[in-house]
Amino acid sequence: MAFKKKDHLFGVDIGSRTVKLAEVLEKKGGRSLSKLAMANLPLGSIVEGRIRQPEVVADTIKGLVKKEKIKTDNVATSISGYSVIIERIVVGSMSDEELHDRIQYEAEQYIPFDVEDVNIDFEILGDHETNPSQMNVMLVAAKKEVIHEYVEVLEMANLNPCVIDVDVFALERVFEEGYLEEEKSVALVDIGANKLNVNIVKNNVSAFTRDVAVGGEEITREIAANLECSFEEAEEIKLGHGAEKMSQEDYQQIVISFISKWCREIRRVIDFYYSTSPDEDIKQILLSGGATQTPGFFEHLAAETSVAVEALDPFKALDINSKSHDMDYIKRMAPQAAICIGLATRQVGDK
């Protein structure tokens, strides 16, 4: 039997084109998927990670919560992009309390923003590999104004925001639950409408992260420019509706040009990681995000990076009742569900 704890919450992933919602329940022996749903956002609602139409986004979230009959107001969401800085840093060994008092000073060296304008968090990863008087720390800083936008839109949807996470860490949480491997370095790559996140995980800890401003909407905009049609019409053509408006050859040429670009960007991130960690060897790339469904992406990425490429299964560690869920819908949602599943496994009071 599944049950809800007092610290139970659900996850909402606010993307540039869609809102994804997930609820995961604790049960004896593990977790089960309770709710999973998605709703489209009008073009321009979210631009470069900033909420431009808060009322529209709040109404969309409110509609999903009502439709799915979510019983709790507690919610976790996440942010990403250039308003978030993630750095693995080295500092002198000290206690958690001592670092808490010093973190703002330490952060000033790594953050390109005024430290007064950001919220700062950290996690001590352990002793430095070669210097016992130092330790590795994961530093995270996010612009206060961006956090405020996401908190405000959730409150407008009559929800209680309890956790503000970062996309790459929500994905990492899914990986830890379903793919935990001690000695294997893996690249978690999520590519959506307008952003690409790469998180290289080594020994179950994030070793390197990078955001790149590319995504599936590039294909849509190129189709719209070629056909001189609206963005909405181009999106339908990209999804395979309206093939008579564009030849398969022209469509394939556009798709290949952009997935080649995405693959080069991912390879650059991996190459940069290798340049800073020359002894490392990434064994696998796990892909998530709506744009990963673009035909040929997996094959091109494997060829570009010479690394095995697979889809990240966000439901791998979850029990799913086939009598309660449309399994075809679950399968279709899998590429886009990873972040909201990671958020849904958080708890009220998590750091």
Question: Could you tell me the pTM of the whole model?
Answer: 0.91
Q: Residue 328, class by beta-carbon neighbours within 10 Å (0-12 exposed, 13-18 middle, 19+ buried)?
A: exposed
CA torsion 332-174-212-47 (nearest 10°) is: 60
Checking if the pLDDT of 326 tops 60, the result is yes
Checking if the pLDDT of 243 tops 70, the result is no
Per CATH, the number for 2-84+141-219+252-344 is 3.30.420.40
Per CATH, the number for 85-140 is 3.30.1490.300
* Residue range 250-255: mean pLDDT, rounded: 93
C-alpha distances out from residue 342 to 171, 245, 309, Å: 6, 39, 21
* Residue range 92-121: mean pLDDT, rounded: 90
CA-based nearest residue to 121, from 98, 102, 94, 139? 139
CA-based nearest residue to 142, from 119, 168, 126, 112? 119
pLDDT category of residue 5 using cuts at 50, 70 and 90: low
**Token pair belonging to 276:** 């800073």
Beta strands, E only, 43-117: 46-47, 50-51, 74-79, 84-92
Torsion angles phi and psi, residue 97, rounded to 5: -65, -40
Q: What is the CA radius of gyration of the chain?
A: 20
Domain ranges across the chain: 2-84+141-219+252-344, 85-140
pLDDT tens column, 171-207: 999 999 888 665 678 999 999 998 999 999 987 788 8
